[in-house]
Amino acid sequence: MSEGVSRMRIQIPEKLIPIFEGLARYRGAYGGRGSTKSWTFARKLILRSCTQYNFRALCCRELQKSTKDSVHHLLKSQIKMMGLEYQFEIGEKYIRNIWGGEFMFYGLRSNPDEIKSMEGIDVAWVEEAHAVSEKSWKFLIPTIRKPNSEIWLTFNPDVETDPTYKRFIKNPPPNSKIVKINFSDNPWFGDPLETEMNHLKAVDYDEYEHVWLGMPYARRANQLNALDWIIHAMHNQLEPDGTHPRIRISADISDGGTDKTIICVARHYESYIQVLRMTKHSWPGSIAVTAAAEEIERVWNHWGCSAANGDDLVVDALGVGAGTAGNLLKAGLPVIPYKGGAKSDNINKWRNRRVQSYIVLRDMLREKGICIKPGFIDNQKDIDEFTEHLMAIKRVPGDERREDIETKKALTDREGFSPDWADALAMQCATATPQLMTEQDWHIVTFDGIAA
């Protein structure tokens, strides 16, 4: 190897020095703009490739349509600044060096199969890691399996419920060295960035905190529900408003796989909804129809529900849910069938029933019309999952009169999970005019087995 390169010294912020010392599975830096995160990691990766024979680096991000979207240009410019052009062959889509080193550039979402088949990766550098989905992390991490291989990540946080933030900041894995770094830790920070920073600080302090101090947003621009609304609901213990409450039990029924059946019990007052209890269930497909119906009926009886009181059941009436709804109907319970694609109560406001449910829930959360009873879910892990599911719902452009949300399939493809907890809660807001299921409805549903 080149003795000159092995002795090369590069200047990096003092705060980043410890993360490159010793052994580690994960090395990372997150924070605001102007902190030299990307420059530092690019230079360290270049040096590593010049001091290790046949070094292989995977440079990736969640979305990458072409090499222009990658760190290819950054690495190329840093190689030149470090005076190492003579050691590298730089093509439009690749970078190699004379020691057998290779840099590869891929998008995690668009090239999962190609990445999964890779062997002998020494370092995977994930840039803009805040955007990486849980689905992508789940296949990337086991793919980087060479002994002593490493995963590097750099990002400016978006929201605290992002998979990357939860996985590496809130719950850092063993053998990880990850630090927060901002412009104040960069001894070379100055104009023109400093002028831009001070201007933003003066005109929009919240945005300044996000962009320059690396503070997560309360929610993304297209995110339907804000984290602080959800947290407030969990601490919003309202007093009875004097109206006669009724109980609604909503059930999002799983068709199997990784999806879970979620049952939600809530007390509806005239001015607000009090969420009392949410539980998660999983049954083998062979007994799912009857097991779900039996559990829902048990919950109905446990809470002393009565049709005479105005209490009702909102049950997902697709697939397995159709059979469950039919069993509950035969048991004499007041069932409202829920089909997300069905007509809403007001087609001028909501495209379909699912959109109506979520927009009404959003409005109630925002206006503090939801209160969630302490202990509504048994453990913190499921509470975190509940929060994650609510915050995964995204708004999409509607028409002039109507708001719209992302389809469930699009969300599942994007995030790698089905928002079961959120769906069950949104079903509490499923209908403004209860329309109970009849035996004729049940026969139609079970015959089709799909949404109308």
Range of the domain at 444: 227-448
Of the residues 187, 213, 239, which one is the last residue of a structural domain? Answer: 213
Alpha-carbon separation of residue 104 from 76, 112, 147, 175, 424 (angstroms):
13, 14, 19, 25, 43
**Which two tokens mark 368?**
């503090």
Does one domain contain both 424 and 281? yes
Query: Does 192 sit behind a cis peptide bond, omega within 30 degrees of 0 on the bond before it?
Result: yes
Residue 322 clears pLDDT 60, i.e. is over it: yes
Give residue-wise pLDDT tens across range 365-388: 998 999 999 999 999 889 988 998
The answer to whether residues 47 and 18 belong to one domain is yes
- 365 & 403 share domain: yes
Residue 335's DSSP bridge partners are: 313
> Both 306 and 335 in a single domain?
yes
Q: Which long-range contacts (CB under 8 A, 24 or more apart) does 169-174 make?
A: 169/30, 172/26, 173/25, 173/26, 174/25
Structural domain includes residue 171? yes
Say if residue 348 is in the same domain as residue 282.
yes
Task: Say whether pLDDT at 128 is over 80.
Answer: yes
**Is 105 or 2 the better-scoring residue by pLDDT?**
105
**Site of tokens 């063993």:** 174
Residue 218 lies in a domain: no
Cβ-in-10-Å burial (0-12, 13-18, 19+) of 29 comes to buried
Q: For 43-80, how does the pLDDT look when each residue is reduced to its tens digit (9 = 90+)?
A: 999 999 998 999 999 999 988 877 777 899 999 999 99
CATH of the domain at 382: 3.30.420.240
Q: Look at residue 443 in the predicted model and tell me its pLDDT.
A: 41
Examine the domain organization and report whether 181 and 246 are in the same domain: no
- Strands 246-252, 312-316: pairing is parallel
Residue 299 shares a structural domain with residue 335: yes
Which whole number is the average pLDDT over 330-353?
A: 89
- Domain assignment of residue 68, yes or no: yes
Q: For residue 53, what is the domain's CATH number? A: 3.40.50.300
268 and 403 assigned to the same domain? yes
CB-facing half-sphere around the CA of 409: CA atoms within 13 A? 2
Average pLDDT, the chain: 87
Residue 272 and residue 178 share a domain: no
Query: What angle in degrees, to the nearest 10, is found between the helix axes of 353-366 and 227-235?
Result: 70
How crowded is residue 104: how many other Cβ atoms within 10 Å of its Cβ? 19
Q: In 3D, which of 55, 44, 71, 173 has the Cα closest to residue 127?
A: 71
CA nearest 133: which of 383, 412, 423, 422?
A: 412
Does residue 221 fall inside a structural domain?
Answer: no
Give the domain-ending residue among 191, 213, 235: 213
Same domain (yes/no): 341, 281: yes
Q: What is the pLDDT of residue 451?
A: 29
Q: Which of 178, 213, 248 is the last residue of a domain?
A: 213
51 falls within a domain: yes
User: Is 254 part of a structural domain of the chain?
Assistant: yes
Q: Is residue 222 part of a domain?
A: no
pTM over 0.85: no
Instruction: Judge if 134 and 35 occupy the same domain.
Output: yes
Q: Is residue 220 part of a domain?
A: no
Query: Into how many domains does the chain fold?
Result: 2
Same domain, 209 and 295: no
37 CB contacts (<8 Å, ≥6 apart)?
16, 29, 30, 31, 154, 181
Q: What is the mean pLDDT of residues 275-295?
A: 93
